[in-house]
Amino acid sequence: MRARITPYWYGFWLMIDVTSLADAAGADVAQVLTDALLDAPGWRGIGPDRERHRRFVMWHYHRMLFRKALRWGRPGYAAFREGRLVGVAVVFDSDGWPLPEPMSTLLDVPAFALVGLAAAVRGAGAGATMKRAHFHEPHLYFSQLSVDPSVQRCGIGRALMARVIADADAVALPVYAETAKPHVVAFCRSFGFVEIGREELPRGVPLWLMLRPHV
């Protein structure tokens, strides 16, 4: 499962090891996801308004997402540079998502307790919207793709995406993803994804539903 890639970044070749997400530490996964998504439209629309509070809640939420991925997911891939985690891809099979209840909600209780009532209500509404709109045919669900801000736009995200697509092609399944970031829509399209729907998250944040059909 381990592979070495050498993405080019501002005149330098970065030696990156891509391996199973299970090889990463939960705290490091939570840190990469939180740093990369702190100002993402979805989290700004759902989470606490104060950045420090939002970061605190996001770290705990992503730490629990990592545990869920290990328990119910594929779980995905991790990218390391010189032993430091710099990229994360979290993946679930379609029969593993939505996650089993009430266990999934119970695991989220600590994060919801930290977020405050208003943000918790927004989070619950967003979760319900995403579950309702989720693609229902067999697929791989690309739940999260994040790269440490210090090495973004150097090919790490593309390498992780390529690994997930290769997994899906190996079992003849499409790949489904959601994003609230317009530039990620373009990124997904470059891999053959098409928009299959659009929803609205709290505070009017648009959510694009993307699918890469199996070819």
Domains detected in the chain: 3-212 (3.40.630.30)
Question: Mind listing the pLDDT tens digit for each residue in 174-192?
Answer: 999 999 999 999 999 999 9
Percentage of the chain exceeding pLDDT 70 = 93
Q: Please state at what angle helix 103-115 crosses helix 51-72, rounded to 10 degrees.
A: 170
Q: Judge contact between 139 and 94, C-beta under 8 A.
A: yes
What distances in angstroms separate CA 113 from CA 26, 50, 56, 109, 195, one per listed residue?
Answer: 20, 16, 12, 6, 34
pTM above 0.85, yes or no: yes
